[in-house]
Chain A
Amino acid sequence: MTGLQLSREELLKAYRLMRMIRVFEDRVSAEMASGDIPGNTHLYAGQEASAVGICLHLSESDRIASTHRGHGHCIAKGCDVDGMMAEIFGKDTGICRGKGGSMHIADLSKGMLGANGIVGGAPPIACGAALTSQILGRNDVSVAFTGDGGINQGTTAESMNLAQVWKLPVIFAVEDNGFGEATASSFVVAGEITKRAEALGMAFAKVDGVDFFAVHEAAGEAVERARRGEGPTLLHIETPRYYGHFSGDPDNYRTAEEKAAMRRDRDCLPRFRRRVDEAKLLGLDELDKIDAEVQAAIDQAVSAARSAPQPALSSLTTDVYVRY
Chain B
Amino acid sequence: MAQKSFRQALNEALHHEMRRDPNVIVLGEDVAGGSGASGQKDAWGGAFGVTKGLLGAFGPARVRDTPITESAFVGAAAGAAMTGLRPVAEIMFVDFLGVCFDQIFNQAAKFRYMFGGKAVTPLVIRATYGAGTRSASQHSQALYPIFTHVPGLKVVIPSSPYDAKGLLIQAIRDNDPVIFLENKVLYDTVGEVPDGAYTVPFGEAHIVREGGDATIVALGRMVHFAREAAEILAAEGIDCTVLDPRTTSPLDEDTLLEMAEETGRVVIVDEANPRCGMAADISSIIAEKAFGALKAPIMKVTAPHTPVPYAPNLEAAYIPDAKRIADAVRKAVAFKRS
How far apart are B302's CB and chain A's nearest CB, in angstroms?
Answer: 13
Q: Is A254 an interface residue (CB 8 A)?
A: yes
CB–CB A315/B314 < 8 A: yes
Residues of A within 8 A of B310 (CB): 38-39, 87, 90, 96, 98-101, 104
Q: Given the complex of chains A and B, what is the CA–CA distance between A92 and B310 in angstroms? A: 11
CB–CB A189/B67 < 8 A: yes
Contact flags B201-212 to A (C-beta < 8 A → 1, else 0): 000000000000
Could you say which of B35, B38, B72 contacts A154, with CB atoms under 8 Å apart? B72
Q: Is B65 an interface residue (CB 8 A)?
A: yes
CB–CB A118/B98 < 8 A: yes
Q: How large is the interface on B (under 10, 10 to 19, 20 to 34, 35 or more residues)?
A: 35 or more
Q: Given the complex of chains A and B, what is the CA–CA distance between A235 and B41 in angstroms? A: 31
Residues of A within 8 A of B135 (CB): 39-40, 101
Contact flags B136-176 to A (C-beta < 8 A → 1, else 0): 11110000000000000000000000000000000000000
How far apart are A172's CB and chain B's nearest CB, in angstroms?
Answer: 16
How far apart are A114's CB and chain B's nearest CB, in angstroms?
Answer: 11
Q: Given the complex of chains A and B, what is the CA–CA distance between A117 and B136 in angstroms? A: 9
Q: Is A103 an interface residue (CB 8 A)?
A: yes
Q: Given the complex of chains A and B, what is the CA–CA distance between A91 and B309 in angstroms? A: 12
Q: Given the complex of chains A and B, what is the CA–CA distance between A299 and B237 in angstroms? A: 54
Interface residue SS majority, chain A = loop
Q: Is B95 an interface residue (CB 8 A)?
A: yes
Q: Is B68 an interface residue (CB 8 A)?
A: yes
Q: A90-B134, A317-B304 are in contact. Are A253 and B313 (CB under 8 A)?
A: no
Residues of A within 8 A of B29 (CB): 180-181, 183
Q: Given the complex of chains A and B, what is the CA–CA distance between A188 and B36 in angstroms? A: 9
Q: Is B37 an interface residue (CB 8 A)?
A: yes
CB–CB A117/B43 < 8 A: no
Residues of A within 8 A of B43 (CB): 182, 250, 252-253
CB–CB B67/A188 < 8 A: yes
CB–CB B39/A255 < 8 A: yes
How far apart are B76's CB and chain A's nearest CB, in angstroms?
Answer: 13
Q: Is B22 an interface residue (CB 8 A)?
A: no
Contact flags B19-45 to A (C-beta < 8 A → 1, else 0): 000000000011001111111110110
Q: A118-B99, A253-B37, A317-B304 are in contact. Are A100 and B137 (CB under 8 A)?
A: yes
Most chain B Cβ neighbours within 10 Å, of A87, A91, A181, A320: A181
B binding-site residues for A, Cβ under 8 Å: 29-30, 33-41, 43-44, 47, 65-69, 71-72, 95-96, 98-99, 133-139, 304-307, 309-314, 317-318
* For the complex of A and B, 4 pairs with smallest distance between CB atoms: A187-B36, A184-B36, A117-B138, A101-B310
